[in-house]
Structure 1
Amino acid sequence: MRKILETLRLREQLGFNTRQIAEVIKASPTTVSDYLRRAEMAGIEYAVGVQMGHQWLEERLFPPKAPASVKRPQPNWAYIHTELKRKHVTLDLLWREYKQAHPDGLEYSSFCEKYKKWASKVDVSMRQHHAPADKLFVDYAGATIDVVDPEQAYRACVGILRHINTHGKEALEQACELAL
């Protein structure tokens, strides 16, 4: 528990990053991240940990594991699947929200594993038959960037465009101006 208190102190009072803390307490960065994540999820700060003591801190950060026979609350997989389609939403973010609502719920690895299993059963394929060079498929990749022309006071929002010839091996990436 001394390492956990030291981890919290280094982060809160000295502003050390994960790697710096790992060097000081002689632990792996993964372990430090785990300590910080557990403390964040439990809402525990360094001052509270010092006041309450090591035993209290251990009970809060490392609760006893639930027996395997206990049913854990299952997330709404359809909701999770829908949310993942939104920009900047990750499985980790959705798991954190789920874990806050259900502290005794699935751990991250089980959450990901069960979601992957659920998602594999969702049929998302659509067969399309094309004549060679009949169609061109276009995809905008990722977030957009702003391009500014100071001489003409012109500003454009640009996305990276990738088009693929379905029967050829060529792919072209270029900037394509989007309507503002």
Structure 2
Amino acid sequence: MCPFDIHEGNLMPAKRKLTMRHIRQMLRLAGSGTSSREIAVILGIARSTVQDNLKRAAMAGLSWPLASDLTDDVLEAKLFVHPGVKQGQRLRQEPDWGPLSIELKKPGVTLLILWEEYRSIHPDGYGYSRYVAAKFMLRQQGMSQGFR
């Protein structure tokens, strides 16, 4: 495999996924006093990647040696969670698409008008482009299930 992404004339190094093994090695090396620069050279990754992941580990309260029962999935969840956002919950209020579909069938009613009403009720709700995209996706799902 070529270490460079030569598709479309791009000669940038190909992006590789950072494995939990790399992160464990990072933590081990950092725990033994190795600098971020040296860790980057040893693992063949960018120094900024090392610094970012060590910072994530510190924020998660992780240091070497890791607990023996800490699986890769748990380690990943501790390092890569979005602070302040509970998993499985939406950040914005979802519009009630059922009544909106009925309203759209009325003459003179547009998505823009419905979105303006939605934003007056939910000022921190979806922007117009996301609102239209969500409606379009919902419509596509309905058509694939035989609805119109």
TM-score (norm 2): 0.42
Structure having the higher helix fraction is 2
Structure having the higher strand fraction is 1
